[in-house]
Amino acid sequence: MSMSTHYVTKTCKAVCLISKPPKPVQYLSLIENVWEHETRQACYRIDSRFSTMSQSGIPQQRDTEHLLLLLLVVVVVIVVVVVVVVVVVVIVVLLLLAMFLNALLEEYDSTVTPTFEKLQPTFVNVSVHINNIDAVNEQTMVSCFQVSRLHT
């Protein structure tokens, strides 16, 4: 692994400036030309690799945030839909239960009402009989008064 790959951060210019080797004095111009040419080629390869990686599938930080936000929105929508469906199902079940109980109550009323109607004249007779008790009490009081008068 060469020294230049350790210093690759965001731009290739920093790599070119940091990784130049010491140059012998006698070959200065030749080495400098070769080094600059190879460094430019290496920098071009590094830059092109970074640009293709960011375009071809390695998500950047902002893309990750967008994906997380989109995932959050999808989860919230799914939760809201599930809650609405559950509420609608509960309301439908309660309405069906109310209709069933109403029909059951009507059936029960139709079987109990004739029995109640048979008993009703008895209640009327009892109330008439109770009204006649006052007359009987009055007669009894008159009789008692007459008996007590005879003994004195």
Q: What pLDDT is attached to residue 82?
A: 97
Phi, psi of 9 (to 5 degrees): -115, -90
Q: Residue 62: what are its φ and ψ, rounded to 5°?
A: -65, -40
Which pLDDT does position 66 carry in this prediction? 84
Q: pLDDT tens digits for 8-63?
A: 444 444 444 444 555 444 444 544 555 565 655 655 555 555 554 444 445 456 67
- Give me the percent of the chain exceeding a pLDDT of 70: 32
Integer Cα distance of 32 and 28 in angstroms:
6
Report pLDDT digits (tens) over 75-117.
999 999 999 999 999 999 999 999 999 988 888 777 765 555 5
Give CA–CA dist 65/50, Å, rounded: 20
What does each C-alpha distance from 128 to 40, 42, 115, 125, 141 come to in angstroms?
Answer: 124, 121, 21, 5, 21
Contacts of 122 (CB under 8 A, 6+ apart): none
Q: What is the pTM of this model?
A: 0.34
